[in-house]
Amino acid sequence: MSHACMCSSPNEEELYPLVDQVIEKYRGNPKELITVLHRIQKLFDYLPRQALEKVSDGLGMSLNEIHGVASFYSFFSMVPKGRHSIKVCLGTACYVKGGQKIVEHLEKKLAVHVGGTTQDRRFSLDEVRCIGACGLAPAVLVNDDVYAKVEPDKVEEILSKYE
């Protein structure tokens, strides 16, 4: 079972000088956009608008062009992610065995919609089409931990393992 580091994370404002360093290295070179976006996402765990505006100025590209690239690739996120990623499988077997009920229960319990992150950035909630665990349906992934045959009344117990 994995647990999050309890170290304090830097305030986002403290990270912007590092963003400036990344941009300075690639200033005026729009061919390095994906490299720059990867490095910024590594700093924040997502791509904040303020950072994208700095990228726009630094690489000489419009914010629309940058947004187009960032939104095209699924590995980029423009919304903050939680410390723990919850992925509910909605492949055929999981859907038939109640995966959608798990999603609805989690949305209500966490007060967040699919694709969102809780206010305290503890959890991000996503649906996935298949995790290849059809015999365990309905299955839920929390970080890299697989939970099998999940029922809505087991959700709270599962989430309590992650701070």
Q: What is the DSSP letter of 117?
A: B
Residues 89 and 113 both lie in one domain: yes
**Cα(153)–Cα(84) distance, integer angstroms:** 20
Q: Predicted confidence band at 2 (pLDDT cuts at 50, 70, 90)?
A: very low
The C-alpha angle with vertex 117 and arms to 116 and 118, in degrees rounded to 5, equals: 130
Is the predicted pLDDT of residue 7 greater than 50, yes or no? no
Residues 67 and 90 both lie in one domain: no
Global pTM value: 0.71
Q: Residue 44's domain spans which residues? A: 12-72
Q: To the nearest whole number, what is the mean pLDDT of the chain?
A: 92
7 annotated as belonging to a binding site for a ligand: no
Number of domains in the chain: 2
Structure confidence at residue 11 (pLDDT): 85
CATH at residue 101: 3.40.30.10
Is the predicted pLDDT of residue 6 greater than 70, yes or no? no
Flag whether 22 is in a domain: yes
Structure confidence at residue 9 (pLDDT): 57
Task: Summarize pLDDT for 16-47 with one digit per residue, the tens.
Answer: 999 999 999 999 999 999 999 999 999 998 99
Whether residue 140 contacts residue 86, with contact meaning beta carbons closer than 8 Å, is answered with yes
Task: Summarize pLDDT for 53-76 with one digit per residue, the tens.
Answer: 999 999 999 999 999 999 998 789
| Boundary-marking domain end, from 27, 51, 72 | 72
Residues 59 and 93 both lie in one domain: no
Residues 41 and 102 both lie in one domain: no
Residues 108 and 143 both lie in one domain: yes
Whether residue 80 contacts residue 45, with contact meaning beta carbons closer than 8 Å, is answered with yes
Residues 146 and 118 both lie in one domain: yes
Residues 17 and 64 both lie in one domain: yes
Q: What is the DSSP letter of 124?
A: E
**Cα(156)–Cα(148) distance, integer angstroms:** 15
**Cα(40)–Cα(58) distance, integer angstroms:** 13
Is the predicted pLDDT of residue 4 greater than 80, yes or no? no
CATH at residue 18: 1.10.10
Residues 91 and 151 both lie in one domain: yes
Helix residue spans in the chain (DSSP H): 12-26, 33-44, 49-59, 63-72, 92-96, 99-110, 155-159
